[in-house]
């Protein structure tokens, strides 16, 4: 079964082909440098960029893999949650292609695609506890199968990635700054008393990262010497003078620890609540974070369950995860009609697919 995956939910335009669960090829164009000029994603620009580059990426993918549209058994597209204008570009393209080549349309939940992505690298073991930590979401799911996700907890305000990026902005790092914080954090030990671990005393599995953001803002206001000048250029980070670099590294290590340990506490709590699961899946851009990866290794080891972490390229947005999730859905007999809707951020993606007989 050969599935095309299309991803345009935010600022990466990406396409990929998955045949029977294995990646055949993929193309990706990131808009990160464009949005970096504004310190965040500008939705209008993002949509226009998707519109400009998606057809070319698709043609490149088909040329390199030698696949033609008539070979496709399904056209999978990230249908949300994401930036609405951006999603509409991918969904419209997918509908047009599905109409033209006759392959069924499969609307993929972008967040589920993130969590299922490590299935491209090894077998996923269900039931699993899924932690999605990305730029727009912090969700804990019980994942019974590739098509059965129960949301157990979510952030009430900022997502983990957003907390990283906003903190990075306050520290004057280039956008998106999560990875700069992580890189510098490797050079120091955390001060575990510097920043709070937000919302851990609350008994739920929900998160709230806005308090952490405020703590950083207060810290920065008290230490203006740490953040003077602009570092919008990555070279400026590389060229930081030693003393200032060491002080910033300690801040970054402490921030990394606060986020990672907050995630650890909630995931441990979730594991107790759900009882027996076979694996812990951690996905999304923040799953690339060294502190988060380490904390999750500890949780899995203590719980005696397998830890499933996608490789770094599969953590952030990509087409492979959409094609792969589409393949899992297609295999289970799911498809959408041409009335498939795109779902903006903040709304739950409905289970509005029609189920066709797998052999139909
Ligand atoms: P969503 O999937 O919720 O719509 P998104 O797809 O935009 O959001 P991702 O691409 O999964 O999010 O992740 C991007 C986020 O990951 C950014 O906030 C970025 O700063 C963060 N990130 C990437 N690498 C690291 C790292 N090493 N440490 C911390 N954060 C990181
Ligand atoms: Mg992105
Ligand atoms: Fe994403």
Per-residue pLDDT tens over the stretch 283-292: 999 999 999 9
Residue to mutate (ligand 1; options 78, 114, 131, 134; most atoms within 8 A of CB)? 134
Q: What is the pLDDT of residue 77?
A: 98
What radius of gyration, in Å, describes the C-alpha atoms of the chain?
A: 21
- Assess whether the previous peptide bond of 133 is cis (omega < 30° from 0): no
Q: In this structure, which residue's CA is closest to atom 1 in ligand 1?
A: 136
- Residues contacting residue 140 through CB under 8 Å, at least 6 positions apart: 129, 130, 131, 132, 151, 152, 153, 154, 205, 266, 267, 270
Contact 35, 44 (CB under 8 A): no
- Neighbouring residues of the ion ligand 3, judged by CB less than 5 Å: 134, 317
Ramachandran sector of residue 21 (left: φ over 0; alpha: ψ -120 to 50; beta: rest): left
User: What's the rounded Cα separation, in Å, for the pair 54 and 58?
Assistant: 6
Q: Determine the Cα–Cα distance for residues 141 and 341; give it in Å rounded to an integer.
A: 23
Structure-block tokens of residue 109: 């939940």
Sorted by where each begins, the domain ranges of the chain are 2-117+315-355, 126-309
Residue 162 Cα to ligand 1 midpoint, Å, equals: 8
Q: What is the DSSP letter of 119?
A: G
174 Cβ inside 6 Å of ligand 1: no
- Rounded distance, CA 303 to CA 37, Å? 44
Ligand 3 geometric centre to CA of 317 (Å): 5
Helix (H, G, I), strand (E, B) or coil at 27: strand
- Helix 290-303 vs helix 178-185: crossing angle, to nearest 10: 70
Say whether domain 126-309 belongs to CATH 3.30.420.40.
yes
Model-level pTM? 0.94
pLDDT of residue 355: 83
Positions of the chain with pLDDT under 70: 229-232, 357-360
pLDDT for residue 359: 52
Annotation: binding site: 110, 114, 132-136, 165, 178, 182, 289, 317
Instruction: Give the pLDDT of residue 204.
Output: 96
Determine contact, residues 353/329, Cβ cutoff 8 Å: yes
Q: Please give the structure tokens belonging to residue 186.
A: 């490797």
Model pLDDT for residues 14-65, shown as the tens digit of each residue = 999 999 999 999 999 999 999 988 989 999 999 999 999 999 999 999 999 9
**Ligand 1 mean position to 100 CA, how many Å?**
34
pLDDT for position 265: 98
The CA 13 to ligand 3 mean position distance, Å, reads: 11
Q: How far is the C-alpha of 27 from the C-alpha of 9, rounded, in Å?
A: 15
209 Cα to the center of ligand 2, angstroms: 19
- Binding residue ranges for substrate: 132-136, 165, 178, 182, 289
How many residues in the chain?
360
Indicate which ligand has the atom closest to the C-alpha of 11.
2
Tally Cβ neighbours within 10 Å of residue 333: 15
Whole-number pLDDT of residue 357: 57
Q: Whose CA is nearest to atom 23 of ligand 1?
A: 285
- Say yes or no: do domains 2-117+315-355 and 126-309 share a fold: yes
**231 token code pair:** 């570092």
Q: Is the CB of 119 under 6 A from ligand 1?
A: no
Q: What tokens appear for 138 in the block?
A: 């912090």
State the pLDDT at residue 230.
61
Helical ranges in the chain per DSSP H: 32-36, 43-65, 84-101, 110-116, 160-170, 178-185, 210-222, 234-238, 242-274, 290-303, 312-315, 319-331
What dotted CATH number matches 2-117+315-355? Answer: 3.30.420.40
Q: Give, using CA atoms, the residue closest to atom 28 of ligand 1.
A: 289
Q: Is 283 in the pocket of ligand 1 (CB under 6 A)?
A: no
């Amino acid at each position: 079964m050969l599935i095309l995956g299309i991803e345009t939910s935010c600022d990466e335009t990406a396409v990929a082909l998955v045949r029977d669960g294995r990646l055949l090829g993929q193309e990706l164009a990131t808009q990160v440098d464009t949005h970096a000029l504004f310190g965040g994603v500008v939705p209008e620009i993002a949509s226009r960029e998707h519109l400009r580059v998606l057809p070319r990426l698709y043609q490149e993918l088909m040329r390199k893999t030698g696949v033609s549209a008539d070979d496709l058994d399904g056209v999978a597209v990230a249908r949300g949650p994401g930036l609405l204008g951006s999603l509409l570009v991918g969904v419209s393209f997918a509908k047009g292609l599905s109409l033209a080549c006759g392959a069924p349309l499969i609307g993929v939940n972008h967040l589920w695609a993130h969590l299922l992505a490590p299935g491209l690298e090894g077998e996923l073991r269900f039931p699993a506890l899924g932690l999605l930590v990305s730029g727009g979401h912090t969700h804990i799911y019980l994942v019974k199968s590739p098509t059965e996700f129960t949301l157990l907890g979510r952030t009430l305000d900022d997502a983990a990635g957003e907390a990283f990026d906003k903190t990075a902005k306050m520290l004057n790092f280039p956008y998106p700054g999560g990875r700069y914080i992580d890189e510098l954090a490797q050079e120091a030990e955390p001060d575990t008393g510097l920043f709070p671990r937000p919302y851990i005393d609350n008994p739920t599995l929900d998160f709230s990262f806005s308090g952490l953001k405020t703590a950083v803002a207060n810290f920065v206001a008290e230490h203006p010497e740490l953040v003077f000048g602009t570092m919008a250029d990555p070279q400026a980070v590389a060229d930081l003078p030693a003393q200032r670099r060491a002080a910033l590294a300690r801040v970054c290590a402490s921030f990394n620890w606060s986020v990672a340990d907050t995630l650890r506490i909630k995931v441990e709590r979730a594991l107790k609540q759900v009882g027996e699961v076979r694996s812990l899946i951690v996905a999304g851009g923040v799953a690339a974070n060294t502190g988060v990866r380490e904390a999750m290794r500890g949780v899995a080891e203590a719980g005696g369950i397998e830890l499933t972490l996608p490789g770094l390229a599969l953590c952030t947005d990509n087409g492979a995860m959409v094609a792969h999730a589409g393949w899992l859905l297609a295999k289970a007999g799911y498809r959408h009609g041409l009335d498939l809707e795109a779902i903006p951020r903040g709304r739950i993606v409905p289970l509005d697919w029609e189920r066709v007989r797998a052999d139909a």
